[in-house]
A and B are shown apart, each in its own frame.
Chain A
């Protein structure tokens, strides 16, 4: 400080830029240090567990055959539904609570902050998948032990990876919509419109219009993800192509526009 009056230039030689890992740690912490954030995470865990507990109870009571894979499929009612919401709130809460002003003055390289948030989203998707796998294992074991019907443990590493990819896609779609709109309610409504209404419209369109039927697989990201949780775990080359093209439309384009918006926007 004493030299500050002598040399007008700020001496920054001794200060290292904020390492990316620290940004990620900060962003990770921000997801659970508020009451609403903590409740979202708790809800996701509780709903996931609840769905599986109900599933295993019903299967036991009704003498139904269930396997490991069935427990993973039922997550479309839990993490499949809520991870995208997590992805949205990761980004938009910074705007609705106006903390972006603080975040971006501490780290003016905004891209890094957004990427750090994205990494946090992926960390949560991975964590959610790990928890799900664990819960599914427990449920399958319980079913195996209590039911006369042997449980179906069949599940490959490849299927596991595809399941992970599916959850990451879900989270990323939410995140991309959030980046595009920077507003929680709007992004959540758009996401649910995309996941619940659009398939119906696409379905009607494909049924009625010949040419639409042909392009639908290339623009319907929801539908393109179906092969990822097909039981056999095999995804054909064309299916990957559908996934890539529709993914560019629904993930990459909103993300890019969102990034561009965040970088040039006045932070209020």
Chain B
């Protein structure tokens, strides 16, 4: 130990999988994180129970896909918040100091966090499908008929759009590094912007032409439709770069060079 230089030959760099495990654990080991995940689960469960109950009582025709859609409606609202919190908590609680002292390759930490967001999204999707499955079975028992319409394309689309929703929150969080700002801007993007895009498109022809290229949310319908038009996918990519790529890139650049306080 008395050597003036440290012998690094025996030390391997922290493997990426371990970084992911650490970040995953950080997402649920605080009360706030635990409650957020718990809230997502409880809300999905609650929504499905209400959906089964109401539709069965009212004799509304429901299929498997409708139950999944109910869950998707809620999770697309809460998963971005999860994506935001995964990122910003490190700054609001100042734990970034410890994190980056233990792993100075900051971009790896950020990528690990992003992966954690994806993993939790997959878990949420799996949970939603399981709950939707049970809901459909219960609905079948109550109504005497079940409709299992929900194909693999729908499943894949559900998965991809949920991941994109989460990433949307994550990207804004990387950009702002502030929970409140990221959440507010995300909801403005999610709920106010479509209205503005619609207004703009109806009023101005030139805007109607460019809107599909900058409206990431509408562009995502291509995923649900498994559109065969190359233009639809091009629009998805372009608007995706605008709403995911740019904020993420700028945010990453900021994190890498920022002084961690």
Binding site for B on A (CB under 8 A): 36, 58, 61-62, 64, 77, 81-82, 85, 89, 96, 183-186, 188-189, 192-193, 196-197, 200, 205, 208-209
Would A193 and B58 be within 8 Å (CB), given that A183-B32, A185-B85 are in contact? no
- C-alpha spacing A208/B179, complex, angstroms: 37
Would A62 and B203 be within 8 Å (CB), given that A77-B196, A81-B192, A96-B92 are in contact? yes
**Contact between chains at A58 and B203 (CB < 8 Å):** yes
- C-alpha spacing A200/B191, complex, angstroms: 12
Would A196 and B187 be within 8 Å (CB), given that A205-B54, A208-B55 are in contact? yes
**Contact between chains at B180 and A188 (CB < 8 Å):** yes
Would A36 and B178 be within 8 Å (CB), given that A85-B184, A185-B85 are in contact? yes
Would A61 and B184 be within 8 Å (CB), given that A184-B179, A189-B81 are in contact? no
Given contacts A77-B192, A82-B184, A209-B54, 16 further A-B contacts (CB under 8 A): A36-B178, A61-B204, A64-B203, A81-B188, A183-B32, A185-B84, A185-B180, A185-B183, A188-B187, A189-B81, A192-B187, A192-B191, A197-B74, A200-B73, A208-B58, A209-B58
Q: Which chain B residues border A85 with CB–CB below 8 Å?
A: 180, 184
- C-alpha spacing A82/B196, complex, angstroms: 16
Q: Which chain B residues border A208 with CB–CB below 8 Å?
A: 54-55, 58, 60
Closest A residue by C-beta to B193: A77
Asked if B38 is an interface residue, CB under 8 A from chain A, the answer is: no
Q: Which chain B residues border A189 with CB–CB below 8 Å?
A: 78, 81, 183
Looking at the assembled complex, report how far the CB atom of B214 sits from the nearest CB atom of chain A, in whole angstroms: 15
- C-alpha spacing A188/B183, complex, angstroms: 7
Asked if B77 is an interface residue, CB under 8 A from chain A, the answer is: yes
Q: Which chain A residues border B183 with CB–CB below 8 Å?
A: 185, 188-189, 192
Would A184 and B180 be within 8 Å (CB), given that A81-B192, A96-B92, A189-B81 are in contact? yes
What are 9 of the A-B contact pairs (CB < 8 Å)? A64-B203, A81-B188, A185-B32, A185-B180, A192-B183, A196-B77, A197-B73, A197-B74, A208-B58
Kindly supply a per-residue 1/0 record for chain B positions 145-189, scoring 1 wherever the CB is within 8 Å of any chain A CB and 0 otherwise.
000000000000000000000000000000000111101100110
Asked if B200 is an interface residue, CB under 8 A from chain A, the answer is: yes
- C-alpha spacing A58/B207, complex, angstroms: 11
Looking at the assembled complex, report how far the CB atom of A208 sits from the nearest CB atom of chain B, in whole angstroms: 5
- C-alpha spacing A64/B78, complex, angstroms: 39
- C-alpha spacing A200/B72, complex, angstroms: 14
Kindly supply a per-residue 1/0 record for chain B positions 15-52, scoring 1 wherever the CB is within 8 Å of any chain A CB and 0 otherwise.
00000000000000000100000000000000000000
- C-alpha spacing A31/B60, complex, angstroms: 50
Would A185 and B81 be within 8 Å (CB), given that A77-B192, A192-B191 are in contact? yes
Q: Which chain A residues border B179 with CB–CB below 8 Å?
A: 184-185
**Contact between chains at A58 and B204 (CB < 8 Å):** yes
Q: Which chain A residues border B73 with CB–CB below 8 Å?
A: 197, 200
Closest B residue by C-beta to A184: B180
Q: Which chain B residues border A196 with CB–CB below 8 Å?
A: 77, 187, 190-191
Closest B residue by C-beta to A84: B184
Closest A residue by C-beta to B183: A188
- C-alpha spacing A184/B54, complex, angstroms: 33
Looking at the assembled complex, report how far the CB atom of A86 sits from the nearest CB atom of chain B, in whole angstroms: 10
Looking at the assembled complex, report how far the CB atom of A85 sits from the nearest CB atom of chain B, in whole angstroms: 5
Q: Of B77, B184, B200, which contacts A58 at CB under 8 A?
A: B200
Looking at the assembled complex, report how far the CB atom of B158 sits from the nearest CB atom of chain A, in whole angstroms: 18
Q: Which chain B residues border A192 with CB–CB below 8 Å?
A: 77, 183, 187, 191
Q: Which chain A residues border B203 with CB–CB below 8 Å?
A: 58, 62, 64
- C-alpha spacing A257/B203, complex, angstroms: 46
Looking at the assembled complex, report how far the CB atom of A238 sits from the nearest CB atom of chain B, in whole angstroms: 27
- C-alpha spacing A85/B85, complex, angstroms: 18
Kindly supply a per-residue 1/0 record for chain B positions 196-228, scoring 1 wherever the CB is within 8 Å of any chain A CB and 0 otherwise.
100010011000000000000000000000000
Would A197 and B32 be within 8 Å (CB), given that A189-B183, A205-B54, A208-B54 are in contact? no
Looking at the assembled complex, report how far the CB atom of A140 sits from the nearest CB atom of chain B, in whole angstroms: 18
Looking at the assembled complex, report how far the CB atom of A226 sits from the nearest CB atom of chain B, in whole angstroms: 16
Closest A residue by C-beta to B179: A185
